[in-house]
Amino acid sequence: MSIEIIPAIDILHGKCVRLTQGDYSSQKIYNEHPLEVAQQFEDAGLKRLHLVDLDGAREGRVKNWNVLEQVAGKTNLIVDFGGGIGSAKDLQIVFDSGARFATLGSLAVKDEALLKKWLIQYQADKFILGADVRDEKISITGWTVDTEISVFDFIENFKTAGVKQIFCTDIHLDGAMKGPSFTLYKKILKRFSDLHFIASGGVRSLQDIFELEEAGCRGVIVGKAIYEGLITLKELAHVN
């Protein structure tokens, strides 16, 4: 496959959980030891990991950096880390703890100038722009605050500033096991055909992944489908 499969680990109170549509009250704990999960992904031959600090996203500062440090230190996974990066101190903690990429969404809205400064200071290829979307508008702060910013304008702004990788989550479909947001992704890729676009949310089968690849997605983040056994690590190891 040409599409890169990126498993996700969401951290809340130090545990591996999944939410449905970003609702913190819907949390389901899958493993109390995220490192064990990361090692299982690596053993299956997966190369990357999408690590999300849900505590940090809600509080606006990095909280679960110790989990990142463990995963980066005890696996060879290429880790992107997001959630709560709101200051230069947060960013330095993330890179010092072993993240290859910093994923930023809320900050891109709250302090656009600071992010653009970092793109120059650290080089743009160290960052992934996170576009969390509800009805084609950007949502921030752990999906708890909606904005009036169009996802298309959001991507255009930071693509022009040098961002190479962008992942997009349709909040309505995240964790709902109803399939990815194919219509939205196709609209985005039609406008930004050269984008390194990573789909996120709603994946429930290998067929969904094949269709995302056909649509032009360069990567796909898979979470709940793995944890619920709809896609097995053996299957992913076979196709990755």
CA angle 21, 203, 63 (to 5 degrees): 50
Residue 176's φ and ψ, nearest 5 degrees, are: -90, -10
CA distance 84 to 64: 9
| Best CA proximity match to 224, nearest among 199, 200, 193, 192 | 200
Annotated catalytic residue 10: yes
Q: Around 83, how many Cα atoms within 13 Å sit in the side-chain half-sphere?
A: 26
Q: Which of 53, 55, 90, 132 is catalytic?
A: 132
Annotated catalytic residue 96: no
DSSP code of 20? E
**Contact status, residue 95 vs residue 63, Cβ threshold 8 Å:** no
Q: Strands 101-104 and 127-134: what pairing?
A: parallel
Q: Which of 10, 53, 90, 208 is catalytic?
A: 10
Q: Catalogue the active-site residues.
A: 10, 132
